[in-house]
Amino acid sequence: MQSSKDTIGDRLEEPEAGIVGVTEKKTNKKSDFQFTSQGKSKPKKVIVWFIIILLLLVVGVSAYFYLGLGSSGGIISPFDSGGGTPSADTVQNPLTGEKFNKEDAPWFDTRPMAVMVNNHIDARPQSGVVDADLVYEIVAEGGITRFLAFFLTNSPEKIGPVRSTREYYLVLVKELGDSMIMHIGWSPQALVAIETWPVRSLGRGGASFWRDNPRNVATEHTAYVNGVELRELSETLGWEGSREFKTLNFKDDVETYQNFENSSEISIDFWYEGDYSAIFNYNAENNSYLRYMGYNAEGEPLPHADQESGEQVEVKNVVVQFVAETPIVGDDKSRLEYQLVGSGEGLVFIDGKVVPITWAKEGRDERTIFYDTNGSEIKFNRGKFWISIVPDRNVDQVVY
């Protein structure tokens, strides 16, 4: 690992994207029943009462376990459908719908943390994305996508490489209960949003990063952050606790969408087929989707694996959201705008099926909701999400 002190003049992003506030690290019990010998009838009465009490205990213990009240451990399953309120002893991850025993959920009552993750080919393989609860993938510019990865269940000690943010990514941060975001640099539009909406920016709140460059690539592809340290910083900034936001609906079966078309292989070309194509293959054994990025020389998809563990990214729900994309007039870096507030169409890939959907987001701070063709909210599987936001002009470039 290479480390050195960062200065404000060290531009990690495009020239106007500052890094003010970001620093680089150098881096045995007696019986309860007493029998007596006084009188002839008393022992019999005591025995009768003992039998009655014993029967009541047996019935009570049986009911306890039959109703599932005696379960223990971390994640709990199965659950009732819907995103309802958890009991006093369990909590629900608002991003994934997974429910945990409260003592196994140290993240409870904390806000999600987003990190802007670089997806340039020189930034691969990335670190920490495999642990994200929810990832949005959107083009930054030139057909190159960038990830907005949300962490709640886990806070990896190495996440990155980290890049700058755009205004439309911040719209997604705001809809998840004023989440906080780590980024290094920003577009002019994003800076205005951070300062005026406002946005909980760890990047401008004194967060530190370090450089790791084993691939000998350009500097902008080498910045990493520690999720645990970011959490600690957020507490010093007064950002402990969380703000409630709408959760999506969840289900506990694979029957809901069995009448829809089968779809075991998905390819998504945001602008064109190539290094930034996203591919998902359905894993029937786990009822999940394995993710791939780009292709090798033989035209085979390349697994999206974690730098440290080698584990392939795997999610329970894949969403494709078609959104209007327009260039920002007069922008010297050819930056883009995405109309995330409003409504549109999309696709949900779940249980090996494809479900046509519509989406709606009423305002900047409101949650994006997904509906089936009957107008009912989609019921997702409890687990990780990957949401690909694709220009609505490229609907035919999503093949399944």
Long-range contacts of 359-366 (CB under 8 A, 24+ apart): 359/321, 361/175, 364/171, 364/174, 364/175, 364/197, 365/174, 365/175, 366/175, 366/246
pLDDT of residue 32: 31
Q: Which of 98, 131, 90 is nearest to 306 (CA)?
A: 131
Q: What is the pLDDT of residue 69?
A: 35
Verdict on whether the full-model pTM lies above 0.85: no
State whether residue 101 is helix, strand or coil: strand
Answer whether 282's CB lies under 8 Å from 289's CB: yes
pLDDT grade for 247, boundaries at 50, 70 and 90: very high
Q: What average pLDDT does this structure show over 53-59?
A: 50
- Using 50, 70 and 90 to split pLDDT, how confident is the model at 42? very low
> Which pLDDT does position 87 carry in this prediction?
56
Q: Is the pLDDT score of 38 beyond 90?
A: no
% of residues, the chain, pLDDT over 90: 77
Round to whole Å and give the CA distance between 223 and 314: 24
Give me the residue label for tokens 């949401």.
Answer: 387
C-alpha span between 281 and 317 (Å, rounded)? 12
Element of type H or E holding 330 = none
pLDDT > 60? residue 55: no
Task: Report the SS3 class of residue 242.
Answer: coil
pLDDT of residue 371: 98
* Domains in the chain with CATH codes: 113-399 (3.50.90.10)
Q: Can you give the pLDDT at residue 20?
A: 66
Least confident stretch, 129-133, 134-138, 332-336: 332-336
pLDDT-based confidence at residue 202 (cuts at 50, 70, 90): very high
Q: In whole angstroms, what is the distance from residue 344 CA to residue 40 CA?
A: 85
Separation in Å, CA 186 to CA 41, 131, 192, 328: 88, 24, 10, 15
Q: What is the mean pLDDT of residues 8-36?
A: 47
Rg (CA), the chain: 26
Distance from C-alpha of 162 to C-alpha of 140, rounded to nearest angstrom: 13
Locate tokens 């993750």: which residue? 117
Q: Residue 5 pLDDT more than 50?
A: no
**Whether residue 64 has pLDDT greater than 50:** no
> What local confidence, expressed as pLDDT, does residue 9 receive?
29
Residue 246: pLDDT band with limits 50, 70, 90: very high
Q: What is the pLDDT of residue 153?
A: 96
pLDDT bucket at 128, cuts 50 / 70 / 90: very high
pLDDT band at 80 (very low <50, low <70, confident <90, very high): very low
pLDDT given for residue 76 in this prediction: 59
Let me know: does 138 contact 120? Beta carbons within 8 Å.
no
CA contacts within 13 A on the Cβ side of 310: 0
pLDDT of residue 85 exceeding 60? no
Distance CA 56, CA 258 (A): 44
pLDDT for 25? 81
Note the pLDDT tens digit of each residue in 168-198.
Answer: 999 999 999 999 999 999 999 999 999 999 9
How would you label 319-338 residue by residue, b for 16+ Cβ within 10 Å and e otherwise? bbbbbebeebeeeebebbbb
The 8-class DSSP code of residue 12 comes to S
Burial (CB count within 10 angstroms: exposed 0-12, middle 13-18, buried 19+), residue 36: exposed
d(CA 327, CA 307): 33
CA distance 36 to 40: 10
**Average pLDDT of every residue of the chain:** 86
Q: 156-168 pLDDT, tens per residue?
A: 999 999 999 999 9
pLDDT of 82 above 90: no
Q: Which H, E and C letters describe 151-219, residue by residue?
A: ECCCCCCCEECECCECHHHHHHHHHCCCCEEECCCECHHHHHHHHHCCCEECCCCCCEEEECCCCCCCH
Judged against a pLDDT cut of 70, whether residue 200 lies above it is answered with yes
Q: So what's the pLDDT on residue 21?
A: 77
Number of residues written out for the chain: 400
Spatial separation of the C-alpha atoms in residues 361 and 365, rounded to whole Å? 9
What confidence tier does 75 reach under pLDDT thresholds 50, 70, 90? Answer: low
